[in-house]
Amino acid sequence: MSKLETITIDTPSGSNTMQIGSTNTATINLGVSGDTINVPAGVTIANAGTATGFGEANTPYFDVKTSGDQTLNHNTVTKISFNTELQDSANAFDSSTNYRFTPQTAGRYLIYASLSYYNSGTILSDARTYIYKNGSAYRQSSGAIYTGQFSYWNFATSSIIEFNGSSDYVEVYGQVLTSTGGTTSVSEGRVTYFGGFRIAT
């Protein structure tokens, strides 16, 4: 093994292609730990192979849902019990006690939630879906509905939220105001969900 020390490697006059490595090469290393490899403005990197370790990983991420219907009392902000995990890359979602996501990595996250409300009576209803950060409402969607038959109403909301990665957390709450003061349910399954992922920067 030998070491070549030089300042510039260039192609000979008349050639515009440089090949590093040939038939005996398995791995080409550029620099060592602590080095910086600069790609100047105007340079194009063309990849026809497999690139690993580049781009956004978008982790951690989670996606959860409810396993059954949940009843909401009139004009009562109620935490939704998302007790079924579909995805939880960092084991950061509590699906048994607090029903909250506590990121293990600081950064900005895209958080989304959707609640599907239903009732079988003639009810004037103001339904609201909240994303809560650290115990306070951060983002919401809402709407007023009047129905005389069994109906479903879906309200979804989303936001980009910054977390410190240690103590910040996010939850979802629902609220319904009815003309009769009765109850409304949040439907389980594919129409009621909560999730998010880190936006790598």
**Three-class secondary structure of residue 34 per DSSP:** coil
The pLDDT tens digits for 32-54 are 888 888 888 888 888 777 767 66
Rounded mean pLDDT, 20-24: 79
* Domain 61-199 top-level CATH class: mainly beta
**Mean residue pLDDT across the chain:** 86
Domain boundaries, the chain: 61-199
Take residue 155 and report the two structure tokens written for it: 């309200």
CA 82 vs. chain centroid, Å, equals: 16
Task: Please name the residues in contact with 116: beta carbons below 8 A apart, sequence gap of 6 or more.
Answer: 152, 153, 154, 186, 187, 191, 192
CB of 92 closer than 8 Å to CB of 163:
no
**Beta bridge partners of residue 170, listed in sequence order:** 101, 133
pLDDT of residue 53: 67
**Three-class secondary structure of residue 191 per DSSP:** helix
CA 41 vs. chain centroid, Å, equals: 32
The pLDDT tens digits for 117-176 are 887 565 667 889 999 999 999 999 988 776 655 567 889 999 999 999 889 999 999 998
The pLDDT tens digits for 78-108 are 999 999 999 999 999 999 999 999 999 999 9
CA 33 vs. chain centroid, Å, equals: 31
